[in-house]
A = this chain, B = another copy of it.
């Protein structure tokens, strides 16, 4: 019970690795790592989880291949198919959940199109877990009945942005911004311009769940300036629930 059924050769498993602490991997994800012949690993995947792999397993860091600063998604898709067709048990280990801005569906589709058996093990998403580890619930009874997770990778005024920031303000849901550190100033400005109260509580949580987790709390009007020195990865929470932000991690340290 609680262990992944035997992983067949030629199969790909897309494993969500959680926000970074190996203790926040799933039991099924761990079982997949333990059985893998080859692991294709992102830079945000939990590094400590690789200790669970068999000594003879091949670990491919697909964030750092020679052809550039990162491996193009198309090449990752090809690698998954190539390794599976060679009869290996393939684990694709990502940070967070592979279906939350993780391009997991593209990998699943590439495998399926190639006739490769592919499975999904969902992970703990940073969008919910990182706020929690900073003491912030994305929902709270009597306060908010929903939350919206958005990518801050594309600035609000960019033609490629599909988001309607006026509607995000009007929705009255908690806003959780992933990949938004670089554009936090623009995002906060846009929310203010669409009428979100300047004193709305906000928090930036950097390195969530790690021993050096850092939480910056400030009203929306000040949050971008206050968090100006923060390096990614970080999760930003905007809404009444952000007032609960604690200054220390709440999870037990894992050993």
Write the residues of chain A forming the contact surface with B, with a CB cutoff of 8 angstroms: 1-5, 7, 13, 16, 18-19, 21-28, 30-32, 48-49, 51-52, 97-101, 103-106, 108, 118-125, 127-129, 131-133, 135-141, 144-151, 154, 161-164, 166-173, 241, 244, 250-255
Contacts and interface: CB of A to CB of B under 8 A. Distances in A.
Contacts of A173: 148, 150, 163
Nearest to A105: B137
- Taking the full assembly, how many copies of this chain does it contain? 2
A137 B14 CA distance: 13
A138 B102 CA distance: 10
B253 A5 contact: yes
A185 to B, nearest CB: 19
A5 B253 CA distance: 6
Nearest to A23: B28
16 contacts: A2-B254, A3-B23, A16-B124, A23-B31, A25-B26, A28-B254, A32-B252, A97-B128, A99-B131, A99-B132, A100-B128, A103-B141, A108-B135, A122-B129, A125-B128, A150-B173
Contacts of A140: 105-106
Pick the most buried of A22, A23, A144, A151: most chain B CB atoms within 10 A of its CB.
A23
A210 to B, nearest CB: 14
